[in-house]
Amino acid sequence: MLIDFHTHAFPDELAGKVIPMIADKAAIRYYTEATNTSLLKSMEIAGIDMSVVLPVVTKPSQHITINETAKYINEKYFPRLLSFGGIHPDNENYREILKGLIRDGIKGIKLHPLYQGVAIDDIRNLRIIENACELGMIVVIHAGRDLSFPGDLVSPERISRMLDEIHPDKMVLAHMGSYAQWDEVYDILCGRGAYLDTSFALNPVRPMTDSEEGLKRLKENPILVPSLTQEKFIKMVKKNGVDRILFASDSPWCDQKETYELVNLCLEEKDKNAVFFENALKLLDLSGFNT
């Protein structure tokens, strides 16, 4: 069994606008059209049984539509797709929004401080995370830098302060704890109790096109860094604990099949089931589930 804990899918009418725009801003390639249909096709090729879809609310007014879409995905596509909900730090009625997600059977939320423009240790995020934890929800956070949106709103230091405040037990830090800041993750975040997902960490960053211009644009991105090395990845897994690592791709920004192959190379045989599906099933409270 194989569960991808970090993917993105949009309604057809939005995907064709949003994904090319983000890709152009970062000058990176994408691997699916980021629709439900294209994600399911990618999963079939990669041998993935379930993908967790993570929406991001970039404006406070978007939460209604985004969470209605999440509910629709779960009703139509579960168990192949399982969507989390979204919330913006500026939603003053955050308690009601979170309770509504619980009523709709939605198991978690995604926060993206760089897209949302609010630091992870800001009181607006802290109160949402704390309330979500009280409700037993999973909180996934984009962690570290982002090739499309510069800033330092979710650095390992800020994440560490958030963990000191909240002590969440269902926290997932994307991109192996903080994209492009893995030394700091190893030093101050590994072993703190958060889950790390493998999304967009081991994968090479490829230009939007194979032309010289495409490569030139990518190299001009100030956040472009070498991928996480296998050696460092293995050390991080051991320090954080294999029971707190989740297989994840960040599709459409990474190819699901390639991500599986890269992660598979780094894991000891005895640890593969935990990373590829057991930890996810336990976190999602689906331990008795069988596709």
- Give a yes or no: residue 29 inside a domain: yes
Nearest partner of 69 among 89, 54, 49, judged by Cα:
54
Beta strands in the chain (DSSP E): 3-7, 50-53, 81-83, 85-86, 108-111, 138-141, 171-173, 195-197, 245-246
Q: Quick: pLDDT tens for 20-71.
A: 999 999 999 999 999 999 999 999 999 999 999 999 999 999 999 999 999 9
- What CATH number has the domain bearing residue 241? 3.20.20.140
Residue 69, pLDDT score: 97
Strand partners, 82: 52
Instruction: Establish whether the linkage from the previous residue to 252 is cis, with ω within 30° of 0.
Output: yes
**Does any domain span residue 291?**
no
pLDDT score, position 42:
98
Would you call 52 exposed, middle or buried from its count of C-beta atoms within 10 A (0-12, 13-18, 19+)?
A: buried
220 within some domain: yes
Q: Does 70 reside within a domain?
A: yes
Domain membership flag for residue 85: yes
In a domain, 289, yes or no: no
Q: Is there a domain that residue 248 lies in?
A: yes
Residue 163: domain span: 3-283
The C-alpha angle with vertex 260 and arms to 256 and 263, in degrees rounded to 5, equals 135
Task: Give me the pLDDT at residue 177, please.
Answer: 98
- Strands (DSSP E) found in 8-72: 50-53
Based on the structure, what is the number of domains in the chain?
1
Q: What is the per-residue pLDDT across 282-291, written as a single tens digit (0 to 9) for each?
A: 999 997 776 5
**Residues 89 and 124: beta-carbon distance below 8 Å:** yes
Residue 136 maps to a domain: yes
- Nearest alpha-carbon partner for 102 in 137, 65, 139: 137
State residue 290's pLDDT score. Answer: 62
pLDDT of residue 172: 98
Q: Compute the Cα dihedral for 173, 169, 82, 237 and give only its sign.
A: positive
Distance between CA 23 and CA 45 in Å, rounded? 23
Instruction: Spell out, as residue ranges, where the chain has pLDDT lower than 70.
Output: 290-291
pLDDT at residue number 291: 53
